[in-house]
């Protein structure tokens, strides 16, 4: 089926394109940008005037909750949420049940996802068996089954020798190791940033040094092993400064931040709002500002949704007992736009953080628009504000700190392989 997307503002961060023109799609590919291919007759026209046409979003951390946690969310509900948010490619962490540590499980997930004909799913395999931090997984086999990187999700890697060897082994094959820096002992039992709010509310704290101590180890091990490392969901100003210094020394490190953390701080916990129980914890205002600045200067490469749908029962508990996490895929674009508007960042740079940059980190062919590229597109109205409420979300998880807020950017169409998979 051939399509024309008429009169949209095409923004492709990778090539630097920013112009109003038509996009021509045939056989799932972009066959024309601006100029119609010879003899092109469209079956469907999409009027994108006053809208932005950009590459489909790429999300580095989206929990689909399958297998194992279908009461929280199902692949169907979360894939619908992804395309409603303009996401066409996503990486899912290995913390399913069972853990993604065997090729068969990865193949099954890829197969289930493919059969839905929605976003492309890129599993991150477990770095250690059962995420226990003891024995390595069969990384090469897992790569053949479809894993694009290896990590521990939120599980610790307590033994630094295992960390070093996992990095050495992964780098043997050129695999990227994804780590969220957090020292398990310093963070033990903690649920909120070690600061004024946790002190007032009497919540067990997670100190900043839980992040920086782990980060120091990872940076040293990166230097030692030469492994490529992607740092997930950095949370502190000191952490950003350490990463900036490490990158200036030329270490092969990339970094992401969750969309929640560039807008919120410990103050948002208010009176024990369990929707603000997140991993890592929301930190002080100064930390949030450093994350926003780090994103702008390129220390932080990408924004991820850190999508973690939680069912109501597991949120209606005292703060510390409530399960951590927030639904996020449908908020990724609005929260990125909000950051960009507040920091006066060019739109192309904002979109790069959720398209071209995460695609580069994943090492997949996605996140760009050019002749011959797969027609994975997001078409959105940047001016339209919408209210975040349970009924407006496709995700089975309705829990987010942004409930009740008005956010900019409504996805109008999402196309995957040239097919319209979402119309908003």
Partner 1 sequence: MNNPQLNKNGELQHLLTTEGLSAAILLNILDTAESFVGVTERDVKKVPLLRGKSIFNLFFEPSTRTRTTFEIAAKRLSADVVNLNIAVSSQSKGETLLDTVNNLSAMHADMFVVRHSQSGAAHLIARHVRPEIHVINAGDGRHAHPTQGLLDVFTIRRYKPDFRNLRVAIVGDILHSRVARSQIHALTTLGVPEVRVIAPKTLLPSKVERLGVHVYHEMEHGLKDVDVLMMLRLQSERMLSARLPSTEEYFKYYGLTQERLALAKRDAIVLHPGPMNRGVEIDSAVADGKQSVILPQVTFGIAVRMAVMSILAGN
160 binding partner 1? (CB under 8 A): no
Selection from 15, 74, 89, 152 nearest residue 305 by Cα:
89
Contacts (CB under 8 A) with partner 1, residues 102-141: none
Q: Is the peptide bond before 291 cis (omega within 30 degrees of 0)?
A: no
- Could you tell me if 380 and 333 are in contact, meaning their C-beta atoms sit under 8 angstroms apart? yes
- Which residue, 320 or 403, is less far from partner 1 as judged by CB? 320
Residue ranges in 294-313 that form contacts with partner 1 under rule CB under 8 A = 313
Token pair in block for residue 297: 């200067």
Q: Which residues contact 300 (CB under 8 A, 6 or more apart)?
A: 234, 240, 243, 255, 256, 257, 291, 294
Judge contact between 176 and 363, C-beta under 8 A.
yes
Nearer to partner 1, 313 or 383 (CB): 313
Task: Name which of 174 and 318 has its Cβ closer to partner 1.
Answer: 318
Of 68-76, 98-106, 195-203, 211-219: span binding partner 1 (CB under 8 A): 195-203
Tell whether residue 287 is a contact of partner 1 (CB under 8 A).
no
Residue with tokens 């987010």: 400
Binder of partner 1 out of 86, 93, 181, 205 (CB under 8 A)? 205
Query: Which of these segments, 92-100, 197-205, 349-357, 410-418, binds partner 1 (CB under 8 A)?
Result: 197-205
Residue among 261, 274, 228 nearest 247 (CA): 228
Which is closer to partner 1, CB of 176 or CB of 206?
A: 206
Catalytic residue among 12, 183, 306, 376: 306
Binder to partner 1 among 317, 371, 390, 392 (CB under 8 A)? 317
The CA–CA distances, whole Å, from 312 to 183, 273, 277, 316 equal 29, 13, 13, 6
211 belongs to the binding site for partner 1 (CB under 8 A): no
Of positions 140, 285, 320, 420, contacts partner 1 by CB under 8 A:
320
CA-CA distance, 270 to 287, in Å (whole number)? Answer: 18
In contact, 149 and 118? CB cutoff 8 Å: no
Helix 285-297 and helix 332-343: axis angle, to 10°?
90
Q: Which is nearer to partner 1, 138 or 323 (CB)?
A: 323
Q: HSE, CB side, 13 Å, CA atoms: give it for residue 190.
A: 25
Q: How far is the CB of 404 from partner 1 (least distance, A)?
A: 12
Q: Which residues neighbour 289 within 8 Å (Cβ) at sequence distance 6 or greater? A: 237
Give the one residue of 321, 342, 383, 406 binding partner 1; rule: CB under 8 A: 321
Residue 421 as a binder of partner 1 (CB under 8 A): the answer is: no
Which CB atom, from 18 or from 268, has the smaller least distance to partner 1? 268
Does position 318 bind partner 1 by CB under 8 A? yes
We find the least distance from the C-beta atom of residue 402 to partner 1, in angstroms, to be 15
Rounded to a whole number of angstroms, the minimum distance from the CB of residue 272 to partner 1 is 3
Pairwise CA distance, residues 241 & 358, whole Å: 21
> Does the footprint of partner 1 cover residue 319 (CB under 8 A)?
yes
- Does the protein bind partner 1 through residue 198 (CB under 8 A)? yes
Summarize as ranges the residues that interact with partner 1 (CB under 8 A). 194-196, 198-205, 207, 270-272, 313, 316-321
Residues tagged active-site: 306
């Amino acid at each position: 089926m051939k399509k024309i997307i008429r009169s949209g503002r095409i923004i492709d961060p990778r090539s630097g394109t920013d112009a109003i023109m038509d996009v021509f799609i045939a056989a799932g590919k972009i066959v024309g940008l601006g100029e119609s291919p010879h003899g092109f007759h469209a079956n469907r026209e999409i009027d994108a005037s006053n809208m932005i046409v950009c590459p489909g979003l790429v999300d580095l951390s989206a929990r689909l909750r399958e297998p194992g946690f279908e009461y929280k969310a199902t692949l169907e509900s979360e894939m619908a949420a992804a395309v409603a948010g303009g996401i066409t490619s996503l990486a899912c962490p290995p913390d399913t049940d069972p853990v993604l540590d065997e090729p068969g499980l990865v193949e099954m997930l890829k197969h289930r996802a493919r059969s839905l004909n929605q976003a492309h799913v890129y599993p991150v395999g477990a770095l250690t068996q059962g995420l226990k931090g003891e024995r390595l997984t069969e990384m090469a086999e897992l790569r053949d089954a479809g894993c694009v990187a290896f990590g521990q999700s939120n599980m610790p890697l307590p033994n630094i020798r295992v960390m070093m060897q996992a990095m050495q082994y992964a780098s043997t094959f050129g695999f990227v190791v994804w780590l969220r820096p957090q020292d398990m002992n310093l963070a033990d039992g903690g649920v909120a940033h070690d600061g004024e709010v946790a002190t007032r509310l009497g919540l067990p704290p997670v100190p900043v040094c839980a992040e920086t101590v782990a980060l120091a180890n990872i940076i040293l091990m990166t230097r030692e092993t030469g492994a490529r490392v992607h740092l997930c969901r950095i949370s502190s100003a000191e952490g950003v400064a350490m990463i900036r210094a490490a990158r200036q020394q030329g270490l092969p490190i990339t970094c992401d931040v969750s969309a929640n953390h560039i807008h919120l701080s410990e103050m948002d916990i208010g009176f024990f709002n369990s929707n603000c129980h997140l991993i890592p914890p929301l930190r002080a205002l100064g930390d949030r500002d450093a994350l926003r600045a780090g994103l702008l200067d390129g220390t932080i490469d990408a924004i991820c949704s850190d999508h973690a749908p939680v069912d109501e029962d597991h949120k209606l508990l005292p703060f510390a007992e409530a399960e951590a996490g927030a639904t996020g895929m449908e908020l990724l674009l609005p929260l990125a736009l909000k950051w960009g508007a507040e920091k006066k960042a060019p739109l192309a740079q904002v979109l790069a953080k959720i398209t071209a940059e995460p695609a580069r980190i994943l090492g997949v062919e996605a996140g760009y628009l050019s002749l011959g590229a797969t027609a994975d597109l997001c078409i959105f109205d940047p001016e339209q504000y919408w209210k975040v409420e349970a009924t407006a979300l496709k995700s089975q998880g309705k829990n987010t700190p942004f409930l009740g807020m008005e956010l900019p950017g409504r996805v109008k169409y999402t196309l995957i392989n040239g097919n319209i998979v979402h119309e908003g």
